[in-house]
Amino acid sequence: MSSSKVLPDLNQFTKSDIYSLFEIADKIQRQKLDFQDNKLISVALLFFESSTRTKASFQMAIRHLGLKILNFDPAKSSISKGESLIDTCKVIEALGAKAIVLRHSLLGISSKLSSSVNIPILNAGEGKASHPTQALSDVYTIWKNKGQLKEEKLLIVGDVFHSRVARSHFTLLPKLGIEVAVCGPSTLVPSVIEKKGIPIFRNLDEGLEWASVVMALRNQIERQHSFLVPNQREFSERFGLNGRRLEKFNKTGLIMHPMPLNLGVEISEEVLKDPRNIILDQVKNGVFVRAALLAKILELSL
């Protein structure tokens, strides 16, 4: 019988769990901790979808903790000979890995695998459904920049429909007292979102007046059919973040994007030079949030 879990489960996270994680991340980030004793512990990275940040961030987090990486290339693995993912995970467990970091397009795959192995599965992005470590990294970044969270108002702009990051934020933010609203055309921000209690702005300038933090999302062009967005230029004119638009945005506001970004579509080059832009902080902080998660899950002493 398996005792494995899919982590982090944001539905189960309490406010104090989240702040405790942030304190650990902050400690790892600030102090040079000695993790010599961890060098016999391996973590496997299984990425079945492309990734730059999340994969590299987990790699860096694993190194920060003195752990070893069990790298896995799906295309060159025995999956290409027909081995199932369940058997692959059982083999990885038998080889001695203490956790599996999984990115996959299939909804529910992490949960299915967790019932076949006894080591935790860390969700590094699953389909359109969830990307909890990105959401935690984003909120940690707001916390580090603002020093508090409860008065913040986050506006998520753009392709919410295809965004696993947005879905994880909808679960995470209310636990911390952060207000969230979305902005975009009805094809990418369907009205049904309002039924979850999340306000929708169809006018970006009005949304920016309301927000203290704005997060643009990548227009997932590869998943959009032509009828969803007439063209990228029109999208950019109505919903793109640019210098002119941000002149009226809160002077102490923050500008975020989980990346990768389409420059000139959802965000313009001048926005990247804006001092309120903390996009690369999100990347940097993701290492420490993922390290903190691994430290908690693997019960490492800090």
Q: Which residues are near ligand CP by CB under 6 A?
A: 51-54, 125, 131, 134, 258-260
Strand partners, 72: 46
Question: At which residue do the structure tokens 């070893």 appear?
Answer: 68
Minimum Å distance from CB 104 to ligand CP?
Answer: 13
Q: How far is the CB of 24 from ligand CP (least distance, A)?
A: 21
Q: Which token pair is 111?
A: 């949960």
The Cα 293–Cα 5 span in angstroms is 13
Q: Of the two residues 120 and 258, which places its CB atom closer to ligand CP in the complex?
A: 258
- Residue 41 or 121 with smaller CB distance to ligand CP: 121
Q: How far is the CB of 259 from ligand CP (least distance, A)?
A: 5
Closest to ligand CP by CB, 47 or 143? 47
Q: Cβ distance 123 to 132 under 8 Å?
A: yes
How many angstroms from the chain centroid is the CA of residue 192?
Answer: 23
Strand order in the sheet with 121-126: 6-7, 121-126, 97-104, 42-47, 68-72
Report the distance separating Cα 291 and Cα 302, nearest Å. Answer: 11
Query: Which of 221, 259 has the CB closer to ligand CP?
Result: 259
We find the least distance from the C-beta atom of residue 139 to ligand CP, in angstroms, to be 14
- Provide, rounded to whole angstroms, the least separation between the CB of residue 137 and ligand CP: 9
- The nearer residue to ligand CP, 33 or 107, going by C-beta atoms, is 107
Crossing angle of the two packed helices 15-30 and 279-297, in degrees rounded to 10: 100
The two tokens of residue 299 are 């019960």
